[in-house]
Amino acid sequence: MEIGVEIGVATAAYQIEGAVAEDGRVPSIWDTFSHTPGRTLDGDTGDVACDHYHRMPEDVALMADLGVDAYRFSIAWPRASNLDFYDRLVDALLERGIAPLPTLFHWDLPQSIEDEGGWLSRSTAERFAEYAGHVADRLGDRVRRWITLNEPFVHMAQGYALGTHAPGHALLLGALPVAHHQLLAHGLAVAALRERGATQVMITNNCSPVLPASDDDADLAAAAVYDAFQNRLFNDPVLLGEYPDFIAGALGDVVRDGDLAAIRAPLDALGINYYNPTRVGAPPDDADLPFDIRPIEGVPTTAFGWPVVPSGLRDLLVGLRDRYGAALPPIYITENGCSTEDGTADRFRIDFLDAHLRALDDAAAAGVDVRGYFVWSLLDNFEWAEGYSQRFGLVRVDFETGERTPKDSYRWLRDSIRSGRWRR
Ligand code: IFM
C-alpha cells in the first residue's frame, strides 16, 4: 500500500503543556472551567498536564525517534505576551528535521477576552487576526504553514450551545453567532498570515459522515439538519462563500457585508479530523434540538465508547470531494486516533490506525487529494471534560511522575514509517 502522505502526530497546548502560571501566561477559559467544581471528571485540570512545557526536548526526541515528518501542535493564545517557548519548540523541531504545523486556536481563549463576550462578540474575530499576525511576526521566518482554528464546530457546540466545555454556556441555537465569529476570525487571520509570507494556510474542521437512523422522511430530514451543522456550517462558507440556507436565515444580521468574502479567502489545504460517523434520527416532540443522535450498533467501540468505522473516513472524503468538487483543496487528516485502556500493550490502537490508513488509501485511490495524516495523539493527555480518563497517546504518560513510556503502537508506527510504507 502506497498512500504517499506526510505522517505526523498532533497535540494541543492546554492538553499537554501545564505551566499555566509561568512566563507571563494569562488565565484561559479552560483554567476557569476546569477549576469550577463539577465541570471536569474528578475535577481534573490542565495545571500540569503532561508537563510538556518543561519536558519539550524529551518529547521532540520521542518524535524524532518515531520518524514523523511533521508535528501539529497548538499555540496558546494566553501565552501571546511571551512566545519564547514556541520559538524554542520550532527550533528543536527543525533541528530534528520535523516540520512544524502550528494551530493558532485550540479552544484555550484568554479569560479576559471571554469576559468581554468571547466568541459571541465580533471583536474577538479582529483580536484573533491581530494575535495571528503577532505570532507570525515572531515565528514566520521559520514557519510558513499554519492552521487557524481547530474544530470550531466542537468549540461552538460544546462550549456555547451545550455547556459541556469551556466557557460553559448552554445557549443551544443561540450559540450560532459563535460560528460566524470564528469563521470571520479565520478569514481575517488568513490575510494576516499571508501578509507575513505564509505558504500554506488551512482550517481544521472535524467532520462525520451522517447515517440517517432510517429511511423515514423525519429521520432523513433530521439527518440533513445535523449534516448541515457538523459538516457544512464551517466548510460551506470557507469553500463556497455561503451558509447552508436555514443557517443563513438564523444568523440574520450577525453576518455583515463583506464577511463571507473574507471567510472565503483561498485556502491551500483543508484539515479534517475524523473519529467516527454519526447516526441521526428525528428528535422527540419536546426536544430542544432539531435532531437526535443515536448509537451505532454492531461495531467495536473505543475506551470512550466511540464506534470504530474506518470506512467512514473514505466515505467522508469521497463525500467532501463530491459535494465541493473543484472548490475542495488538498486534504490533510489533522487528527485521527482512539482512546484505549491504560497500558502500553495497545493492539487496539494499532488495528485502529492501520484500518484508518487503509481507508485513507482507498480515498486516495478514489481520486481524493490526500496530503497528510496526523495521529491524535503523541501523548496521553488532558481530554477536556473527561480529564485524564481517556488515553489517546502513542506514548503513555504517568500523570504522577510525568514519565513517558512508548506504547506498542508507537513502535508499530515507527517501524511502518521506517519501512517506507507511507512514502510515495
Ligand atoms: O482531544 C481532542 C482534541 O482536542 C480535538 N479533537 C478530538 C480529540 C479527542 O476527543
Q: Where are the domains of the chain?
A: 6-418
Across the range 182-202, mean pLDDT stands at: 98
- Which amino acid would we find at residue 60? V
Compute the half-sphere exposure of residue 313: CA atoms within 13 Å on the CB side of its CA.
30
Quick check: CB of 108 below 6 Å from ligand 1? no
* pTM of the entire predicted model: 0.98
Confidence label for 3 from pLDDT (cuts 50, 70 and 90): low
Using one digit for the tens of pLDDT, what is the confidence trace for 87-146? Answer: 999 999 999 999 999 999 999 999 999 999 999 999 999 999 999 999 999 999 999 999
Check residue 1 and give its pLDDT. 47
* DSSP type of residue 391: B
Catalytic residue, chosen from 2, 6, 95, 151, is: 151
For the chain, give the percent of residues with pLDDT over 70.
99
Q: What pLDDT is attached to residue 4?
A: 73
- Measure the CA angle with vertex 207, ends 59 and 149; round to 5°: 55
Rounded to 5°, the CA angle 231-234-236 comes to 80
d(CA 48, CA 14): 9
Count the alpha carbons within 13 Å of 290 in the hemisphere toward its beta carbon: 14
Q: For residues 45 and 41, give the distance between their C-alpha atoms in angstroms, rounded to a whole number.
A: 9
**Ligand 1 and 51: CB distance under 6 A:** no
Q: Is 151 a catalytic residue?
A: yes
Probe ligand 1: pick from 44, 338, 392, 397, max atoms within 8 Å of CB? 392
Q: Identify the DSSP state of 228.
A: I
Choosing from 17, 114, 335, 383, which is the catalytic residue? 335
Is pLDDT of 154 > 50?
Answer: yes
Q: Which amino acid is at 361?
A: D
Q: Are 237 and 183 in contact (CB under 8 A)?
A: yes
Query: Thinking of the domain 6-418, which architecture would CATH place it in?
Result: Alpha-Beta Barrel (3.20)
Per-residue pLDDT at 13 exceeds 90: yes
Strand partners, 320: none
**335 in contact with ligand 1, CB cutoff 6 A:** yes
Residue 252 makes CB contacts below 8 A (sequence gap 6+) with: none
- Per residue in 290-333, pLDDT (tens digit) is 999 999 999 999 999 999 999 999 999 999 999 999 999 999 99
DSSP states of 170-211 as a string? --GGGGHHHHHHHHHHHHHHHHHHHHTT-SEEEEEEE---EE
Average predicted confidence (pLDDT) for the chain: 97
- 39 pLDDT exceeds 60? yes
195 is annotated as an active-site residue: no
- Is residue 388 a contact partner of residue 380, using CB atoms and an 8 Å limit? yes
Please work out whether the CB of residue 380 comes within 6 Å of at least one atom of ligand 1.
no
Residue among 383, 388, 391, 397 whose CB has most ligand 1 atoms within 8 A, to mutate = 383
For ligand 1, whether the C-beta of 45 sits within 6 Å is no
pLDDT confidence bin for 43, thresholds 50/70/90:
very high
- Cis-peptide into 167, omega within 30 deg: yes
Query: pLDDT tens, 383-407?
Result: 999 999 999 999 999 999 999 999 9
| pLDDT given for residue 421 in this prediction | 80
CA of 383 to the centre of ligand 1 (A): 7
- Treating both helix axes as pointing N-terminal to C-terminal, what angle do 408-418 and 347-365 enclose, rounded to 10 degrees? 40
The predicted model gives 331-360 an average pLDDT of 98
